[in-house]
Amino acid sequence: MSNSALIGTAGTYFVMAQLAARDFHASCTFGNAPYIDILVSSYDGRHTAAVQVKTARFAQRRRGRGSSKKLDHYEWYLGHSIASVPKTVRLLYAIVDLRLPYWEANYQPHDVAPEVFILPLSSVARWYHNYVNPKGMSRLWARPRFLKPFKDAYHLLRHAIQA
């Protein structure tokens, strides 16, 4: 997979499958809504939340040499749309690492599932406004200890649509 649109599509559909498996109603916007990739609703449809999906083919960045090489941080391209998101929107970010290494020649699917981190808009916005030059490329750069509480945090979505 090398086309960035296909990588984004793979991440969006993976998140939608995870939502369906957890009894959420989810609908893909197919790029027709600004800063929203998936609309999520409660079972009765009375409450909704929006999800922006950011996907990386392989987000893990390692440091060290040889056998001492360890996970240092993750990186995702974020874009600048976050700067214009109204704070009243119930928006969460689903940050997906497909975990498909670039360096494997003739890459074959393996048993390692993608990782999904569900982050509230406030966490991503705080990071963006503190660390990003709006004129440059923006990447979400996060240490594993920062992301750990957000891994598979679908309960944040459940809370958002019940609020």
pLDDT given for residue 71 in this prediction: 92
pLDDT given for residue 11 in this prediction: 95
For the chain, the maximum distance between any two Cα atoms, rounded to a whole number of angstroms, is 53
d(Cα 112, Cα 97) in Å, to the nearest integer? 11
Q: Which position has the higher pLDDT, 126 or 39?
A: 39
**Residue 118 in this model has a pLDDT that exceeds 90:** yes
CA distances from 61 to 46, 73, 118 (A): 41, 5, 20
Give mean pLDDT, residues 136-158.
89
* Helices and strands (H, E) in the chain, number of each type: 4, 8
Percentage of the chain surpassing pLDDT 70?
Answer: 81
Q: Are 161 and 125 in contact (CB under 8 A)?
A: no
Max mean pLDDT among 94-98, 108-112, 140-144 falls in 94-98
pLDDT given for residue 1 in this prediction: 43
56-82 pLDDT, tens digit each:
999 999 999 988 889 999 998 887 667
**Residue 104 in this model has a pLDDT that exceeds 60:** no
**Residue 2 in this model has a pLDDT that exceeds 50:** yes
Q: How confident is the model at residue 47 (pLDDT cuts 50, 70, 90)?
A: confident
HSE-CB at 69 with a 13 A cutoff on CA atoms is 6
